[in-house]
Amino acid sequence: MGNDTRLIAAIEAREDDLVALTQDLIRIPTLNPPGRNYLEICEMLAARLAGSGFAVEMIRAHGAPADSDLYPRWNLVARREGGRPGDCVHFNSHHDVVEAGHGWSVDPFGGALRDGRVYGRGACDMKGGLAASIIAAEAFLEVCPEFAGAIEISATADEESGGYGGVAWLAERGYFDPARVQHVIIPEPLNKDRICLGHRGVWWAEIETQGRIAHGSMPFLGDCAVRHMGAVLAEMEATLFPLLAGKRTTMPVVPEGAKQSTLNINAIHGGEPVQDADYTGLPAPCVPDRCRITIDRRFLIEEDITEVKAEITAMMERVRARRPGFAYEVRDLFEVQPVMTERDAPIVKTVAAAIERVLHRQADFVVSPGTYDQKHIDRIGRLKNCIAYGPGILDLAHQPDEWVGVRDMVDSAKVMALTLAELLVPDRVS
């Protein structure tokens, strides 16, 4: 029996273990924000992986954004060395989950198993993927104990809030240095037959229009910042949205609607602040002197971020030319460059071949509309041989009744195990 057949059998034999591990992970509510139970989940994983022969390291991102003694940002990095020198394959999963929200028909932290699905917050995004990578590594170690190189598994904090207390923090300390790690798989829920090569870029900014406060009964004595913002929004509709719709990318972004530049207005606020729910009075009559919007611009690998910003300035200047007294400010909040791993990178080719062997169909190559931790591995770690590959349906992420399919987890664990065999057992018989 060849190694591939034995690996596949070893994964099949671990199906119950895979389900139980996923349930155990879901039952630790690692809510972010604020960042609950990070120590608990890292300790649970550390015990599990130490039991499988990994050297485990618990790393707190002291001083990272949101790190505090009440909500410490704990990360786990586990490494198992092979008997000979060789490449290191690293599986990186984030252990944090977003709030449950309303509309659940099951306990979001119960880990219910029903009709071949495990339910719970984080089931697909991405505790199911984390569990699949652990099972894949354990099966591989049993079948191929004489491997070369090393396997690493990390569980990292705060992906849902930017990853600064997680992958970014580790990358800044050399954990994703290409001298230490050569291949990275991030088991985000992109579906078991798809390889995600990267993501579009992001620019968040706040645009403020400025006016002058006055009594609401004599608006002519003031200058209404909300009316100025109205003019900005009208200009956006007339010129900016059509411009963005015309910018198409060669990146294989899914879903289809994201194959172009997009802009969302995440928030708008002008005038008197919203009062607390227990305030029973009326609002006061004032001309608003400030109005702000937060824009969320997603850009393409073909675009340059300086051009993306210049488009907004040009739009604001067009409005200014038509409106006497128009004053504004644009403030940068956050930016991420687009990332796309080459189609012929070793990790891409190896995982694609494993998908074909396990699922008997060709892999699809996709790019994510939004960003994930690959940005830090690429920019800070300077490691380009990185993809996202994992079980689960992306659309279910952050939704009520989130679930991950048991068959999908088993299949992607097989793909991960065959990938390990291909990269770490160079002389194997498949």
Binding Zn ion by CB under 5 A: which of 97, 126, 132, 380? 126
The single residue listed with the structure tokens 């970014």 is 168
Q: How many CB atoms lie within 10 A of CB 220?
A: 7
Q: In terms of C-beta density within 10 A (0-12 exposed, 13-18 middle, 19 or more buried), how is residue 125 classed?
A: buried
By beta-carbon proximity to Zn ion, the closer residue of 188 and 411 is 188
Binding span for Zn ion by CB under 5 A among 125-133, 140-148, 206-214, 272-280: 125-133
User: Measured from the CB of residue 398, what is the shortest distance to Zn ion in angstroms?
Assistant: 9
Does residue 409 sit in helix, strand or coil? helix
Instruction: Give residues with Cβ within 8 angstroms of 398, minimum separation 6.
Output: 98, 101, 125
- Cβ closest to Zn ion, residue 126 vs residue 155: 126
Q: Closest CB to Zn ion among 182 and 368? A: 368
- DSSP category for residue 275: P
Cα–Cα distance measured from residue 236 to residue 238, given in angstroms and rounded to the nearest whole number: 6
Instruction: Kindly tell me which of 31 and 143 has the beta carbon lying closer to Zn ion.
Output: 31
Q: Which stretch binds Zn ion (CB under 5 A): 134-142, 184-192, 233-241, 318-326?
A: 184-192
Contacts (CB under 5 A) with Zn ion, residues 327-346? none
State phi, psi for 25 to the nearest 5 degrees: -70, -40
Distance (Å, whole) CA 223 – CA 200:
39
Min separation Cβ 126 and Zn ion, Å? 5
Least separation in angstroms between CB 188 and Zn ion: 5
CA distance 213 to 219: 9
Please, where are the H alpha helices in 260-334? 305-322
Task: Give dist(CA 85, CA 147) in Å, integer.
Answer: 9
**Closer CB to Zn ion, 125 or 411, in the complex:** 125
Contact window for Zn ion (CB under 5 A) among 58-66, 121-129, 236-244, 314-322 = 121-129
Q: Which residue is nearest to Zn ion (CB)?
A: 125
Ranges within 242-261 binding Zn ion (CB under 5 A): none
3-class secondary structure, 241: helix
Which runs of E-coded beta strand occur in 107-214?
Answer: 113-114, 117-119, 148-156, 183-186, 194-199, 201-210
> Which CB atom, from 353 or from 396, has the smaller least distance to Zn ion?
396
Query: What's the rounded Cα separation, in Å, for the pair 93 and 100?
Result: 19
Q: Which residues on adjacent β-strands are paired with residue 327? A: 210
Interaction between residue 410 and Zn ion (CB under 5 A): no
Residue closer to Zn ion, measured from CB, 190 or 240: 190
Instruction: Supply 98's token pair.
Output: 């977003």
Binding window for Zn ion (CB under 5 A); candidates: 22-30, 54-62, 180-188, 233-241 = 180-188
Binding footprint of Zn ion, residue count (CB under 5 A): 3
Contact range with Zn ion by CB under 5 A, out of 1-9, 182-190, 223-231, 403-411: 182-190
Considering the complex, what minimum distance in angstroms separates the CB of residue 159 from Zn ion?
6
Question: Residue 10 or 26: which CB sits closer to Zn ion?
Answer: 26
Residue 93 near residue 156 (C-beta atoms within 8 A): yes
For residue 345, what are the contacts with CB-CB under 8 A and spacing of at least 6?
384, 385, 387
102 Cβ contact partners less than 8 Å away, ≥ 6 residues apart: 400
The distance of closest approach from Cβ of residue 237 to Zn ion in the complex, given in angstroms and rounded to an integer, is 33
Q: Which segment (45-53, 183-191, 199-207, 258-266) binds Zn ion by CB under 5 A?
A: 183-191
Q: Show contacts with Zn ion in window 186-205 (CB under 5 A).
A: 188
Catalytic residues: 96, 159
- The residue (of 23 and 368) whose beta carbon lies closer to Zn ion is 368
Query: Is 125 among the residues that bind Zn ion (CB under 5 A)?
Result: yes
Q: Is 373 in the site for Zn ion (CB under 5 A)?
A: no
Residue 66 in 3-state DSSP? coil
Alpha carbon 379 to its chain centroid, in Å, reads 15
Amino acid at 93: S
Closest separation between CB of residue 216 and Zn ion, Å?
46
> C-beta of 412: minimal distance to Zn ion in Å?
15
Nearest distance in Å: CB 399, Zn ion: 13
Closest CA to 153 of 59, 72, 49: 49
CA 396, 364, 346, 420 dihedral sign is positive
What is the closest distance, in whole angstroms, from the C-beta atom of residue 32 to Zn ion in the complex? 11
Q: Which residues bind Zn ion (CB under 5 A)?
A: 125-126, 188
